[in-house]
Amino acid sequence: MNQSTIDIILIEDDQNDYEITARVLKRRGLAGTIVWLQDGEKALEHLTALAGRMKGEVKRQPRLVILDIKLPKVLGFDVLQYIKQDEWLQHLPVVIFSSSNQERDIVRAGQLHANSYVVKPVDYDSYAHAIDVIVTYWIFTHKYL
């Protein structure tokens, strides 16, 4: 796998969470591949443009979307629903990475076809480990069918 062609979309409003994620990706050799979107509105704009490019069969497509559900402007659940209902985006794996461990949020993510739901740890080391596990599975281990 050519890692220079892997894109990860991180939809996250917290600067600290972005910086931890970027550090983990850099350690894994993926630092230059992250697209950081800080609110749901920007995420929808980016995803709409991406879907348009995918219609033109652009080879470079994201391999993973890491999505927080508590976003400004447009909620993460609305972004997830958009992704999973779009014919060009619906195959993208979406991992919900949220501080919420509320059962209703986990159930809703499942109903909207999130590929995984991971509760954000609060301490740095556990957070970094969780990102590493997500990336290890979805980028390096998981085989796309």
In Å, the largest CA–CA distance within the chain is: 42
Mean pLDDT, residues 111-122: 97
pLDDT tens digits for range 80-96: 999 999 998 999 999 99
Expressed as residue numbers, the domain containing 36 is 3-141
CATH number of the domain where residue 37 is located: 3.40.50.2300
8 A C-beta contact, residue 56 and residue 26: no
Domain count, the chain: 1
Residue 2 is predicted with a pLDDT of: 44
